[in-house]
C-alpha cells in the first residue's frame, strides 16, 4: 500500500499548487487565492502554510469576507486539517464562517483502480452534450438534496477542456449516477468528483464502476494519482479499492 505521508506530500506540492492555474479568474490576495464564480458561491484557499498568523491572518480573512459581502455572494474557504496555522478554523468561525461537513481526502494509484465492474442494466458513457449536462445536474440535485444547477453551467463552459471528463450512468434512458475526472495540468494528479447515485440504484456497483472508468481514462492521459474528497458513505468503498486516507478537509462558508 502506498505511504500516506508520501502521497500527502505529493498532493500538497503538485496538485494544490497547480490547481489555481486552471481557473481563469483567480485573484491572489496575500497568501490566499479567491475565485468569484458567476454561477455558484465563491471559493478561497491557500497553500499548506499560509505564513501569516494572529491579527494579520484576521485581516486576510476579513478582506475575503468583505469582498464577497459587497457582491452579495456566499463564499467557501477550504481548509485541510494538517495545514498551518492550526487556529485558522477558529479564526474563520470568529469572522462569521460556518463549518460544513468534514470529508476525508483519499489518494490512490490509478493503475490499481481499473478492475472492470459488471453492471446489470446500467451503461456508462462519457459525454459533452449540453442536454446530458442538465440531466446530470438534475440527478445530482436529487441525490445531494441541494441545487446543483451550477454544475451544468460549469460543465458546459468546460466542454472543450480535455482535462475535464464527465461520465454518466444510464438505466432505461435515465441518468442514475454521474461523476467527473478533473485532471490537474502539469501534475500527476486527477481529482474524482461527483459519484452521487440515486437511492434506489445504490449497492449495485455503479460507484465502483465509475471509479474504474475514470482510472482507465486517467492512465491513458498519463495521470498516476487519483484524489477524492470523500463523504463517510464513499470513504469505506474507496479504502476497500486501495485508496489511502491522507488528511481531512472542511469547507467554511460565509453567507451574505
Both 87 and 155 in a single domain?
no
pLDDT average per 10 residues of sequence, the chain (256 residues): 91 88 82 89 95 98 97 97 98 98 97 95 96 95 90 90 96 95 95 94 95 97 97 93 97 97
Please report, for residues 145, 156, 162, 190, the alpha-carbon distance to residue 134 in angstroms, rounded to integers and kept in the order given. 16, 9, 20, 24
256 inside domain: no
Domain C-terminal end among 104, 136, 164: 104
- Asked if 96 and 114 sit in the same domain, the reply is no
254 domain-assigned: no
Residue 154, domain CATH: 3.40.630.30
If asked whether residues 122 and 135 sit together in one domain, one would say yes
Buried b (16+ CB within 10 A) or exposed e, 51-67: ebeeeebeebbeebbeb
Give domain status of residue 235, yes or no: yes
Closest CA to 245 of 102, 106, 82: 106
Q: What pLDDT does residue 195 have?
A: 87
Going by C-alpha positions, the residue among 247, 241, 249, 248 that lies closest to residue 1 is 241
Whole-number Å distance between alpha carbons of 31 and 136: 35
Does residue 144 share a domain with residue 202? Answer: yes
How many domains, in total, are found in the chain? 2
The pLDDT value given to residue 24: 72
Nearest to 218 by CA among 210, 159, 104: 210
Residues 183, 162 share a domain:
yes
Check residue 1 and give its pLDDT.
67
Q: What are the C-alpha distances in Å from 80 to residues 7, 128, 223, 251?
A: 15, 32, 23, 9
Does residue 255 fall inside a structural domain? Answer: no
Give the neighbor-by-neighbor strand order of the sheet with 42-45. Answer: 27-29, 32-35, 42-45, 75-80, 244-254, 98-109, 225-230, 189-197, 174-183, 164-171, 123-126
In Å, what is the CA distance from 152 to each residue of 66, 80, 124, 137?
A: 28, 27, 18, 6
Q: Are 51 and 149 found together in one domain?
A: no
Give the structural domain span for 177.
109-247
Q: What are 123-151's pLDDT values in tens digits?
A: 999 999 999 999 999 999 999 888 899 89
Amino acid at each position: 500500500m502506498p505511504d500516506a505521508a508520501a502521497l500527502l506530500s505529493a498532493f500538497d506540492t503538485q496538485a494544490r499548487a497547480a490547481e489555481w492555474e486552471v481557473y481563469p479568474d483567480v485573484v491572489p490576495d496575500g497568501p490566499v487565492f479567491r475565485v468569484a464564480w458567476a454561477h455558484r458561491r465563491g471559493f478561497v484557499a491557500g497553500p499548506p502554510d499560509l505564513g501569516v498568523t494572529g491579527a494579520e491572518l484576521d485581516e486576510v480573512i476579513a478582506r475575503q469576507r468583505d469582498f464577497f459581502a459587497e457582491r452579495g455572494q456566499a463564499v467557501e474557504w477550504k481548509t485541510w486539517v494538517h495545514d498551518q496555522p492550526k487556529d485558522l478554523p477558529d479564526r474563520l468561525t470568529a469572522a462569521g464562517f460556518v463549518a460544513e461537513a468534514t470529508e476525508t481526502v483519499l489518494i490512490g494509484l490509478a493503475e490499481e483502480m481499473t478492475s472492470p465492474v459488471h453492471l446489470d442494466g446500467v451503461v456508462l458513457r462519457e459525454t459533452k452534450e449540453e442536454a446530458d449536462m442538465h440531466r446530470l445536474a438534475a440527478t445530482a440535485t436529487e441525490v445531494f438534496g441541494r441545487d446543483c444547477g451550477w454544475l451544468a453551467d460549469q460543465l458546459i463552459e468546460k466542454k472543450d477542456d480535455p482535462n475535464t471528463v464527465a461520465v454518466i450512468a444510464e438505466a432505461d434512458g435515465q441518468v442514475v449516477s454521474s461523476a467527473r475526472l478533473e485532471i490537474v495540468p502539469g501534475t500527476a494528479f486527477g481529482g474524482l468528483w461527483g459519484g452521487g447515485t440515486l437511492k434506489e440504484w445504490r449497492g449495485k456497483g455503479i460507484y465502483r464502476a465509475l471509479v474504474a472508468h475514470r482510472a482507465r481514462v486517467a492512465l491513458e492521459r498519463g495521470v498516476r494519482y487519483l484524489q477524492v474528497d470523500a463523504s463517510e458513505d464513499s470513504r469505506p468503498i474507496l479504502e476497500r479499492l486501495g485508496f489511502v486516507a491522507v488528511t481531512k478537509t472542511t469547507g467554511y462558508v460565509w453567507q451574505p
